């Protein structure tokens, strides 16, 4: 296969949703020339707006600035030669000012599909709730848990990109262009494939913690009656399936203990404290791991910091679109990145600006968000302080 199978394809990415940006990125990686249509509008916090992470979704693409005027000649010319146009009609500020050419494949990614849901944008969290996804995650004895990353948007982007590639092939073979109507909600329901069969078959699917409804639990059980025979405290989450093998007639089992997550877990593994290991076991083995002594971090605060609720609301919108994927839902980190409630950095305005806006810690994995205004950065500081106090242990 050619390294760039879509090198002769022009894609115009108009849609503001993360799914539109991700679908465009997939096509760009296949060699397509992707043009991102940008306006001066601020990111919209009511849904997952790709422009809140503009640098991520503009990477490897071309940019076209649209004034919003119907007669924009540059946009009109681009639409006229487009092979693919990606929109999100429930979230885009304005409809295309130019009718797409008859040969163009138009992919519209919306919350519920064409004509459904009143044409209003819906957030990834709400789609997770409506589809039932939140009731499948989290500890078996705990409440439903929303996935902080925009998993519905990203999975829909995969389906959209695959559908566009299929439509391009149909056009090449028959000369007929197709319209792709992509529903985020449909993709969310499809993600429930391991739970819905049980429900419709009369079962009662439930959260299973670190187990899976269609795979064996992570312990050693007697096959005849299911009695648990053995378990081991690995001091970290088990990341992969076990490998079993023989050496000189002796059976060994090896697993990788290296779990990390952006979102709170039970227990809440912290990659800065949990040792990553390859663990190997055999019958009769007597070795043990060094004693594990977790380090407890207190929530940082400054009593002199006065929270402004209006600024905190601005910060909440920014956090839930730009920060949540690394620092955790509800600002409760799972260990893959620092817990901002426990960091002293947000208490220092200059240090916070240097790290978040200027990228002072990019070499350590912290991104640079130069697109954030001073008001948005200050809003983040107030929201971090608000969540820190809301979640601090009661004395």
Q: What gap in Å lies between CA 222 and CA 213, rounded to an integer?
A: 19
Q: What gap in Å lies between CA 31 and CA 151, rounded to an integer?
A: 25
More confident residue, 186 or 293: 186
Q: What gap in Å lies between CA 151 and CA 265, rounded to an integer?
A: 18
Q: What gap in Å lies between CA 138 and CA 221, rounded to an integer?
A: 24
Pull the structure tokens for residue 253. Answer: 């089992």
* DSSP code of residue 141: T
Q: What is the pLDDT of residues 95-151, one digit of tens each?
A: 777 889 999 999 999 999 987 655 778 899 999 999 998 888 877 777 788 887 899
Q: What gap in Å lies between CA 91 and CA 120, rounded to an integer?
A: 7
Looking at residue 260, its pLDDT comes to 67
Q: In this structure, what is the dihedral angle of CA atoms 313, 315, 318, 324, given to the nearest 10 degrees?
A: -100
Q: What is the pLDDT of residues 22-60, one digit of tens each?
A: 999 999 999 999 999 998 887 777 788 888 888 888 889
Answer yes or no: is pLDDT of 76 > 80: yes
More confident residue, 195 or 247: 247
Picking from 84, 87, 75, 78, the residue whose alpha carbon sits closest to that of residue 103 is 84
Q: What gap in Å lies between CA 159 and CA 182, rounded to an integer?
A: 8
Choose the CATH number for 10-190 among 3.40.630.30, 3.50.50.60, 3.60.60.10, 3.40.50.10540: 3.40.50.10540
Looking at residue 350, its pLDDT comes to 96
Percent of the residues in the chain that have a pLDDT greater than 70, as a whole number: 91
Q: What is the pLDDT of residues 340-372, one digit of tens each?
A: 999 999 999 999 999 999 999 988 888 889 889
Contact assessment for residue 352 and residue 381, using Cβ atoms and an 8 Å cutoff: yes
Q: How many residues does the chain have?
A: 395
Contacts (Cβ under 8 Å, ≥6 apart) of 170: 176, 178
Looking at residue 211, its pLDDT comes to 56
Query: Per-domain residue ranges for the chain?
Result: 10-190, 220-282, 309-391
Q: For the range 170-176, what are the long-range contacts, defined as Cβ-Cβ under 8 Å and sequence gap of 24 or more? A: 171/103, 171/105
Give whole-number Cα distances, 352 to 53, 139, 225, 379, in Å.
18, 34, 57, 12
Q: What is the chain's mean pLDDT, rounded? A: 86
Cβ burial 214-251 (10 Å sphere, 16+ → b, else e):
eeeebeeeeeeeeeeeeeeebbbbbeeebeeeeeeeee
Percent of the residues in the chain that have a pLDDT greater than 90, as a whole number: 46
Pairing assessment for the beta strands 84-87 and 105-110 based on DSSP bridges: parallel
Looking at residue 216, its pLDDT comes to 45
Class of domain 309-391: mainly alpha
Answer yes or no: is pLDDT of 395 > 70: no
């Amino acid at each position: 296969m050619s390294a760039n199978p879509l090198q002769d394809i022009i894609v115009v990415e108009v849609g503001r949703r993360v799914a539109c940006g991700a679908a465009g990125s997939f096509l760009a990686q296949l060699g397509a020339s992707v043009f991102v249509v940008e306006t001066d509008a601020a990111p919209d916090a009511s849904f997952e707006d790709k422009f809140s992470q503009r640098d991520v979704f503009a990477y490897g693409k071309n940019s076209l600035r649209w004034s919003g005027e119907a007669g924009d000649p540059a946009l009109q010319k681009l639409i006229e030669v487009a092979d693919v146009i990606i929109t999100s009609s429930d979230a885009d500020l304005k409809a295309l000012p130019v009718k797409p050419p008859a040969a163009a494949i138009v992919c519209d990614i919306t919350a519920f599909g064409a004509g459904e849901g009143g044409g209003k944008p819906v957030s990834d969290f709400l789609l997770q709730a409506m589809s039932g996804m939140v009731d499948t995650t989290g500890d078996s004895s705990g409440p439903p848990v929303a996935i902080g990353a925009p998993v519905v948007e990203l999975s829909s982007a995969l389906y959209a990109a695959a559908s566009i590639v299929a439509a391009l092939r149909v056009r090449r073979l028959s000369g007929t262009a197709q319209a792709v109507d992509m529903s985020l909600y449909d993709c969310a329901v499809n993600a429930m494939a391991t739970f819905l069969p049980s429900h419709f078959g009369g079962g009662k699917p439930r959260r299973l913690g670190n187990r899976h409804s269609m795979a064996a639990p992570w312990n050693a059980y007697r096959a005849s009656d299911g009695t648990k025979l053995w378990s081991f405290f690995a001091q970290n989450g088990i990341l992969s399936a076990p490998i079993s093998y023989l050496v000189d007639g002796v059976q060994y089992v090896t697993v990788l203990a290296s779990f990390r997550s952006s979102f709170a877990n039970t227990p809440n593994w912290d990659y800065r404290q949990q040792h990553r290991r390859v663990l190997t076991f055999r019958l009769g083995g007597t070795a043990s791991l060094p004693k594990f002594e977790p380090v407890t971090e207190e929530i940082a605060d400054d009593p002199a910091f006065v929270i402004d609720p209006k600024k905190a609301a601005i910060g909440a919108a920014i956090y839930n679109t730009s920060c949540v994927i690394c620092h955790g839902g509800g600002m409760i980190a799972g260990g893959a990145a620092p817990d901002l409630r426990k960091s002293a950095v947000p208490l220092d305005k200059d240090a916070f600006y240097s790290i978040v806006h200027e990228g002072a810690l990019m070499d350590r994995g912290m991104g640079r968000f130069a697109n954030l205004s001073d008001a948005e950065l200050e809003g983040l500081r107030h929201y971090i302080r608000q969540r820190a106090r809301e979640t601090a242990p009661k004395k």
